[in-house]
């Protein structure tokens, strides 16, 4: 027997509306509120979507109280320990882990799509040398809609597949082009003999005048970070991609919107902001003063890399990244990195502080990731671009899930209007 419906009763008129219960495979039930506007003439009010499930999805599950994250049912800890970013990308997009032949075919297809049109390079080179790379990446990805306009029918499964491989393959190339432009160095073409992360490091750090050897330790560290950043259900940037995509727009344009949404410091931009914050704090003695600042609502400062809309416990990704940071810094001989020591001390103090304890604020995915990027010599302004490269997989998986749903409709929320009531136009000469 199904669960009984909830009911909404208007206390004045007695009008009743059934709120059918919808159950997922795991997680809290949802109330289907679709009938209440028809029956009662009211909307629901949920600014910032704190309690609203905007869609059904089979991709990623989070239990924020228990600190659990599953990709297609697989715990992120297991994937981080044993899988690869390419395998996780296949899993998120297709729903199942690939067989050996499927994985080889997927990797080959991604590798073969990694070159970008030379005109996109000219576009990149048009930016000022100090343009922020997130803005450049967002613009170049949006311009791909112009390059792949005629060949993108969103209702063609083959076109959708080509789009998904193209965008995952080209994001590192676009990011590397932005990086080289900022440095004033020549663009380095992708190499098909390298895996996804090794190729990315080569495009970032090689120069044409000497041979570049990829450090396998660096490639492995990057691969781990990409696995951990690949998807996170209906976060702000994924919701942006879904919303833009729901209009039927070109998917490159929808992904560009996602890049822009990710850039904000409350979202993916926090990884860059964490390093700036650690530098501003400078030394452990200054931590109490900084915590006093973030507790002061008037300061508009936050403890960057802390807190989460869903996790009211440890973000499982932060735990994995902190351990990876220990291992990587030791391997690179940087175990005494003062910013890492400061971050560990800051975490320790914040987790004992009543303000953070009572609000259940824990380190999130962005708290330690920048320290790994720094150790890999990736410049700070590129940190959020790294996040975008990994998250492109999640954006693509969600876009495909949404476009493949025959019940898809344009996303269009309503509002609680608090502006002026109707009034008559007054000619300018008569206005006070």
Q: Which residues bind ligand SDX (CB under 6 A)?
A: 232, 235, 266-268, 270, 294, 302-310, 359, 361, 364-366
3-class DSSP string for the chain: CCCCCEEEECCCCCCEEEECEECCCCCCCEECCHHHHHHHCCCCCCHHHCCCCCCCCCCEEEECCCCEEEECCEEHHHHHHHCCHHHHHHHHHHCCCCCHHHHHHHHHHHHHCCCCCHHHHHHHHCCCCCCCHHHHHHHHHHHHHHHCCCCCCCCCHHHHHHHHHHHHHHHHHHHHHHHHHHHCCCCCCCCCCCCHHHHHHHHHHCCCCCCCCCCHHHHHHHHHHHHHHCCCCCCHHHHHHHHHHCCCCCHHHHHHHHHHHHHCCCCCCHHHHHHHHHHHHCCHHHHHHHHHHHHCHHHCCCCCCECCCCCCCCCHHHHHHHHHHHHHHHHCCCCCCHHHHHHHHHHHHHCCCHHHHHCCCCECCHHHHHHHHHHCCCCHHHHHHHHHHHHHHHHHHHHHHHHCCCCCCCCCCCCCCCCCCCCCCCCHHHCC
Q: Which is nearer to ligand SDX, 290 or 340 (CB)?
A: 290
Q: Which is nearer to ligand SDX, 336 or 354 (CB)?
A: 354
Q: Is 343 left (phi over 0), alpha (psi -120 to 50) or beta?
A: alpha
Q: How far is the CB of 140 from ligand SDX (least distance, A)?
A: 22
Name the burial class of residue 78, with classes exposed (0-12), middle (13-18) and buried (19+) by CB atoms within 10 angstroms of its CB: exposed
Residue number, nearest CB to ligand SDX: 307
| Catalytically annotated residue among 366, 398, 405, 424 | 366
Q: What tokens appear for 414 in the block?
A: 């309503």
| Catalytically annotated residue among 179, 308, 315, 398 | 308
* Whether 366 is catalytic: yes
Q: Which is nearer to ligand SDX, 167 or 291 (CB)?
A: 291
CB neighbourhood size of 345 (10 A):
14
For 24, 93, 366, the CA distances from 400, given in Å and listed in that order, are 20, 8, 26
Q: How far is the CB of 142 from ligand SDX (least distance, A)?
A: 21
Q: How far is the CB of 264 from ligand SDX (least distance, A)?
A: 8
Q: Which is nearer to ligand SDX, 143 or 364 (CB)?
A: 364
Q: How far is the CB of 50 from ligand SDX (least distance, A)?
A: 7
Q: How far is the CB of 310 from ligand SDX (least distance, A)?
A: 6
Q: How far is the CB of 58 from ligand SDX (least distance, A)?
A: 17
- In which residue are the tokens 């990797």 written? 107
Q: How far is the CB of 291 from ligand SDX (least distance, A)?
A: 9
Contact 28, 10 (CB under 8 A): no
For residue 357, give the nearest of 310, 313, 291, 294 by alpha carbon.
Answer: 313
Q: Which is nearer to ligand SDX, 252 or 395 (CB)?
A: 395
Q: Which is nearer to ligand SDX, 123 or 226 (CB)?
A: 226
Q: Which is nearer to ligand SDX, 16 or 359 (CB)?
A: 359
Q: How far is the CB of 183 from ligand SDX (least distance, A)?
A: 28
* Whether 398 is catalytic: no
Q: How far is the CB of 159 from ligand SDX (least distance, A)?
A: 27
Q: Which is nearer to ligand SDX, 9 or 266 (CB)?
A: 266
Q: Which is nearer to ligand SDX, 270 or 397 (CB)?
A: 270
Q: Report helix angle 366-375 to 216-229, nearest 10.
A: 160
Active-site residues: which are they? Answer: 308, 366
């Amino acid at each position: 027997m199904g669960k009984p419906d909830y009911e909404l009763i208007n206390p004045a008129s007695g009008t009743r509306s059934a709120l059918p219960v919808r159950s997922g495979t795991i997680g809290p039930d949802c109330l289907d509120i679709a009938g209440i506007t028809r029956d009662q003439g009211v909307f629901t009010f949920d600014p910032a979507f704190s309690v609203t499930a905007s869609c059904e999805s089979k991709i990623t599950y989070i239990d924020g109280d228990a600190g659990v994250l599953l990709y297609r049912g697989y715990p992120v800890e297991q994937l981080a320990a044993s899988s690869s970013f390419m395998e996780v990308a296949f899993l998120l997009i297709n729903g199942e882990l690939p067989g050996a032949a499927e994985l080889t075919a997927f990797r080959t297809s991604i590798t073969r799509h990694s070159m970008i049109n030379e005109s996109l390079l000219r576009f990149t080179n048009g930016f000022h040398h100090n343009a922020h790379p997130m803005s450049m990446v967002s613009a170049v990805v949006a311009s791909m809609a112009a390059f792949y306009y005629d060949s993108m029918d969103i209702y063609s499964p083959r076109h959708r597949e080509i789009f998904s491989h193209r965008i995952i393959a080209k994001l590192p190339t676009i990011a590397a082009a932005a990086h080289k432009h900022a440095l004033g160095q020549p663009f380095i073409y992708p190499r098909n003999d390298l895996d996804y992360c090794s190729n990315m490091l080569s495009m970032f750090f090689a120069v044409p005048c000497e041979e570049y050897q990829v450090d396998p330790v660096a490639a492995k560290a990057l691969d781990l970070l990409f696995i951990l950043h690949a998807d996170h259900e209906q976060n702000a940037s994924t919701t942006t991609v879904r919303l833009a995509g729901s209009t039927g727009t070109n998917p490159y344009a929808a992904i560009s919107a996602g890049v822009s949404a990710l850039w904000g410091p409350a979202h993916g931009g926090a990884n860059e902001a964490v390093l700036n914050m650690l530098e501003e704090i400078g030394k452990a003695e200054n931590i109490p003063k900084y915590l006093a600042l973030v507790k002061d609502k008037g300061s508009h400062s936050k403890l960057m890399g802390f807190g989460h809309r869903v996790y009211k416990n440890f973000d499982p990704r932060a735990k994995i990244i902190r351990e990876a940071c220990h291992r990587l810094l030791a391997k690179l001989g940087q175990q005494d990195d003062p910013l890492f020591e400061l971050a560990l001390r800051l975490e320790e103090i914040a987790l004992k502080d009543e303000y953070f304890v009572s609000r259940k604020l824990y380190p999130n995915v962005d708290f330690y990731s920048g320290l790994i990027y720094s150790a890999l010599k990736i410049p700070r302004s590129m940190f959020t671009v790294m996040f975008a490269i990994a998250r492109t997989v999640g954006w693509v998986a969600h876009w495909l899930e949404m476009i493949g749903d025959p019940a898809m409709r344009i996303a269009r929320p309503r509002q609680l209007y608090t502006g002026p009531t109707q009034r008559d136009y007054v000619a300018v000469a008569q206005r006070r």
